[in-house]
Structure 1
Amino acid sequence: MARWEPGARERLVVAAVDLFTEQGYDATTVAQIAERAGVTKSTFFRHFPDKRGLLVAGQETLSQLLTEGIAEAPASAGPLDAVAAGLERASSAMGAMNRELGPRLKAAVAASAELQERDALKIVSLAAAITTALVARGVPDATAALAGELGVLAFKRGYAEWSEGDRDGKDEFAQYALAALDELRAASASLG
Structure 2
Amino acid sequence: MARWQPGTRERLQSVSLHLFAEQGFERTTVAEIAAAAEVTERTFFRHFDDKREVLFAGQEDFVAMFLDPIVAAPDSTPTLELVSRALEGTAALFTDERRAWSRMRQPIIEAEPSLRERELGKLATLTVRIGEALQERGIGEPGATLAAEMTVTVFHLSFQQWIAPGEDRSLQALTRERLDALTALVAPSPNGRTGRS
Do the two structures share a fold, i.e. TM-score over 0.5?
Answer: yes
Change (3 A) 1:34 1:142: farther
* Residue 180 (1) aligns with residue 184 (2): no
Mapping of residues 73-84 of structure 1, within 5 Å: 73-84=73-84
* Residue 133 (1) aligns with residue 130 (2): no
Gaps (5+ residues) in structure 1? none
Check whether the contact 1:162–1:173 (CA below 8 A) recurs between aligned residues.
yes
The worse-fitting range, judged by mean Cα deviation, of 121-130 and 32-41 is 32-41
1:6 alignment partner in structure 2: 6
The worse-fitting range, judged by mean Cα deviation, of 19-28 and 92-101 is 92-101
Check whether the contact 2:65–2:86 (CA below 8 A) recurs between aligned residues.
yes
* Identity across the alignment (%): 37
Change (3 A) 1:78 1:93: same
Which gives a bigger RCO, structure 1 or 2 (Cα 8 Å, sep 6+)?
1
Partner amino acid, structure 2, of 1:183: A
2:56 alignment partner in structure 1: 56
- 1:118-171 Cα deviation digits (max 9, x unpaired): 11111111111211111111111321111111111111222222233657x5x5
Query: Post-superposition shift, 1:188?
Result: 5.0
- 1:45-75 Cα deviation digits (max 9, x unpaired): 1222111122222221011121111111232
SS of alignment partner, residue 4 of structure 1: coil
Partner amino acid, structure 1, of 2:159: Y
Gaps (5+ residues) in structure 2? 188-194
Mapping of residues 9-158 of structure 1, within 5 Å: 9-158=9-158
**Structure in which a larger fraction of residues adopt helix:** 1
Q: 1-side partners of 2:170 and 2:3: how far apart? A: 32
The worse-fitting range, judged by mean Cα deviation, of 4-13 and 101-110 is 4-13
Check whether the contact 1:98–1:163 (CA below 8 A) recurs between aligned residues.
no
2:190 alignment partner in structure 1: none
Partner amino acid, structure 1, of 2:177: A
Q: 1-side partners of 2:134 and 2:196: how far apart? A: 23
- Return the TM-score normalized by structure 1: 0.87
Deviant stretches of 4+, over 6 Å? none
Partner amino acid, structure 2, of 1:176: L
Q: 1-side partners of 2:29 and 2:47: how far apart? A: 15
Q: 1-side partners of 2:88 and 2:160: how far apart? A: 16
Taking only aligned residues, the RMSD between alpha carbons, in angstroms, comes to 2.2
SS of alignment partner, residue 124 of structure 2: helix
2:192 alignment partner in structure 1: none
Query: Post-superposition shift, 1:115?
Result: 0.6
The worse-fitting range, judged by mean Cα deviation, of 112-121 and 138-147 is 138-147
Equivalenced residues, count: 190
